[in-house]
Amino acid sequence: MEITITPHEPTTAIVYLQGRLNLLVAGELRQRLLQEVAEGRSILVIDMSSVSFIDSSGLGALIGSLKIARLAGGDLRLAAINDQAETLLRLTTLNKLLRPYADVAAALDLG
């Protein structure tokens, strides 16, 4: 998986993921997001448009990162998720915590 993080505003980062979000990369993603929050970017927008698959470990990394972001007064928002990720969120009822947005622009709309 390729992880690219772009600061958007002083408190916001856009995280672009490409590939499979699974056990092999979940720890790295969690660490990278923790670092962003530590640097003051507590609003994390995750662009999922190029994620081909997500498993329970990947989902766990997102939930853990959401918790860290919220403790810092921020949020974690998923943008442009695919059907598999949407089904996984719905079946686990985590779509109530990780509310999906249509795209990055919608997730960035803080109003």
CATH of the domain at 7: 3.30.750.24
Q: What is the pTM of this model?
A: 0.93
Q: Mean per-residue pLDDT for 56-60?
A: 94
Q: What is the dihedral of CA 75, 70, 66, 99, to 10 degrees?
A: -50
- Give helix then strand counts, H and E, for the chain: 4, 5
pLDDT for 99 equals 85
Q: Would you say residue 52 has pLDDT above 70?
A: yes
User: What residue numbers bound the domain in which 98 lies?
Assistant: 2-106
Domain assignment of residue 111, yes or no: no
Q: Mean per-residue pLDDT for 74-88?
A: 94
Number of domains in the chain: 1
- What's the rounded Cα separation, in Å, for the pair 15 and 43? 10
Q: Would you say residue 18 has pLDDT above 70?
A: yes
Nearest to 48 by CA among 103, 111, 99: 103
Domain assignment of residue 61, yes or no: yes
Domain assignment of residue 55, yes or no: yes
